Every structure is written in structure tokens, then in C-alpha cells.
């Protein structure tokens, strides 16, 4: 199968005051694919994700981030601020690790979602409210109850579902998720991952999923890019039985995820 690219990142380099943090990073997100960016703390994976749409404050960004859609192509890094703002949230959306700090504590879920919808579409309030209800329902939430809730009235898992509902409100083609399940319990994490999996079968959509957990990545991804010290050191394609890392560092990451490590033995890291 030949895959059409949706996002093509070439030579992305990010620096702060001359200090290189992301170095010559290149990767593709094909249409309707799940791509994972894996690395340990400080490897530059989150900064890479933010820099794609110039969201990294104070950073100097070089390279190209090509968005290919409906026969047209544009470089997000050289786009003017206003068209880029329109693209964020509409064509591509972000969710982050801590849903609590992404939500406004003094607004109900419904008010925030209406605001997010109205930022992109001129419409009647009732239409925005309807869109919010539909989107929450698709996240398997009790939409009518949740719209009236303030963030503190929801659990961590519910808040992350609300964030996904908000991100998908405008049917973006790419969802960039930065460690969206890291602060959640395993059962809640499983629920969110299953939900993301289901959503992808219902709508054509790609995910760029950022995680430190390569075992989680290997359960969901079509492609894994491994980052270390600001560089991509290995790209893994899903084979018939999963992923076959060649780089010793990537193998260490799998070891650290306790995949096939005998209990009570030293982990080779």
C-alpha cells in the first residue's frame, strides 16, 4: 500500500539562545496513520510536537513542516500567524498530559467547548452547543451531565475525554497527543487508548502520539520514531509480529518497559 503523506517534517531544528535542543529531525505522518514519537525525558519529543505549529515560545525553529492536503501543500513554519491559528484547532489539534491544567477552572465544560467552536465557525450558539453535546457523546461521556460540570467535578480520565472531545470538535485531520495517558491509571489509560482506536475507525484521522513508553507505543502505532538527545535515532515500521528494534538504545527502552524481562532480575539499562 502506498501511503499519502499528511505531514512531512524535514530538518526540524529547534534552539533556545543558540542551544540546540531538537536537531535535524525528519519524519512523516501518513494519512490515517498512528505515528508515535518515543523518547525519555529531555529527548526533545514534546518540543518537536510544539514546534510543528510554532507553539514553542522563545524558540528559534528551522526546517520545514509541510502540510499536504487536498492537493495543496503549505509550510507551517513559514505560514503567517493568522492562517496558522486557523489551522490549529481546525486542521490539527493538540491534547496534553495534564488535562486539568488545559481546562479553565472557572468555566463549565459546555462554555469552554462553545467558545472553542465559535473561535472557528460563525454560528448560532445553539449550533455550537449541539456540536459540543455530540462530541462529548462520541467520547462515551454522559454529554448532558458533563456539559454542565466544572473541571474539578470530573475525574482525570473524564477530563482527558473532555479534552479529546474539544480537540475533535472541528474534525481535525491530525491529532497531536503529548503523553495523554501518562498521569492516568492503567484501566483509565486503556479506556482512552481504546477510544482513540475506535475514533480512528469512524473518521479518517491521523495521530501523532508522544510518549516515553515504547511498550504502549508498540501496541498502537503503525510507525515509531525513537528520539534521543534531540535526534531521531531509529524509525520502526510495524512488522507482522510487531516491531523489531535494531538500535541498542531502542532495545533498552523495550527492556525498561519490562517486556519479556524475567521478574526479580536486573533490567539491562
Partner 1 sequence: MLLSVQNIHKTFKGNVQALRGVSFELDRAQVLGVVGESGSGKSTLAKIVMGFTRPDEGKVLLDGGKLDRRKVQIIFQNPFSSLDPRLSAGASLAEAFRLNGLRGAQRLRSAVQEALRGVDLAPELAARFPHELSGGECQRIAIARSLSRSPELLVCDEPVSSLDLLAQARVLNLFLKLQKERRISLLFISHDLRVVRHLCDRVLVMKEGLVCEEGELSQVYAKPQHPYTQELLFSSGI
Binding region for partner 1 (CB under 8 A): 40-42, 155-156, 185-190, 212-215, 219, 252-253, 255-258, 261, 263-267, 269
CB of 265 to partner 1, least distance (A): 8
Residues paired with 66 in a beta bridge: 8, 75
3-state secondary structure of 66: strand
Cα angle: 33, vertex 35, 37; to 5 degrees: 170
Question: Would you say 30 or 39 has its CB closer to partner 1?
Answer: 39
Grid cell locating 34: 498512528
Angstrom distance (rounded) from CA 64 to CA 252: 31
Question: Would you say 138 or 189 has its CB closer to partner 1?
Answer: 189
Residues paired with 88 in a beta bridge: 92
Question: Would you say 96 or 117 has its CB closer to partner 1?
Answer: 96
CB of 219 to partner 1, least distance (A): 7
Grid cell locating 2: 502506498
CB of 12 to partner 1, least distance (A): 22
Angstrom distance (rounded) from CA 266 to CA 269: 9
CB of 19 to partner 1, least distance (A): 16
Question: Would you say 161 or 173 has its CB closer to partner 1?
Answer: 161
CB of 49 to partner 1, least distance (A): 16
Residues paired with 5 in a beta bridge: 30
Cell 538504545 belongs to which residue?
Answer: 249
Question: Would you say 68 or 215 has its CB closer to partner 1?
Answer: 215
How does DSSP classify residue 44? Answer: S
Residues paired with 159 in a beta bridge: none
Amino acid at each position: 500500500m502506498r501511503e499519502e503523506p499528511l505531514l512531512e517534517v524535514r530538518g526540524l531544528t529547534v534552539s533556545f539562545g543558540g542551544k540546540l535542543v531538537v536537531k535535524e529531525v525528519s519524519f512523516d505522518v501518513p494519512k490515517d496513520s498512528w505515528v508515535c514519537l518515543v523518547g525519555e525525558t529531555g529527548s526533545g519529543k514534546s518540543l518537536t510536537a510544539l514546534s510543528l505549529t510554532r507553539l514553542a515560545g522563545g524558540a528559534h525553529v528551522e526546517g520545514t513542516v509541510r502540510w499536504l492536503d487536498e492537493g495543496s501543500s503549505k509550510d507551517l513554519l513559514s505560514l503567517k500567524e493568522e492562517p496558522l491559528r486557523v489551522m490549529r484547532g481546525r486542521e490539527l489539534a493538540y491534547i496534553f498530559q495534564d488535562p486539568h491544567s488545559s481546562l479553565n477552572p472557572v468555566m463549565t465544560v459546555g462554555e469552554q467547548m462553545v467558545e472553542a467552536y465559535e473561535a472557528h465557525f460563525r454560528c448560532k450558539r445553539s449550533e455550537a452547543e449541539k456540536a459540543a453535546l455530540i462530541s462529548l457523546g462520541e467520547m462515551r461521556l454522559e454529554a448532558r451531565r458533563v456539559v454542565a460540570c466544572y473541571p474539578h467535578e470530573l475525574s482525570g480520565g473524564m477530563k482527558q475525554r473532555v479534552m479529546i472531545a474539544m480537540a475533535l470538535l472541528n474534525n481535525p485531520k491530525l491529532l497531536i497527543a503529548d503523553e495523554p495517558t501518562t498521569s492516568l491509571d492503567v484501566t483509565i489509560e486503556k479506556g482512552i487508548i481504546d477510544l482513540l482506536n475506535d475514533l480512528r475507525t469512524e473518521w479518517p484521522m491521523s495521530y501523532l502520539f508522544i510518549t516515553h513508553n515504547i511498550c504502549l507505543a508498540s501496541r498502537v502505532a503503525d510507525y515509531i520514531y525513537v528520539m534521543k538527545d534531540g535526534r531521531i535515532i531509529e524509525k520502526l515500521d510495524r512488522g507482522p509480529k510487531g516491531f523489531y528494534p535494531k538500535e541498542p538504545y531502542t532495545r533498552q527502552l523495550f527492556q525498561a518497559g519490562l517486556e519479556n524481562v524475567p521478574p526479580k532480575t536486573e533490567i539491562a539499562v
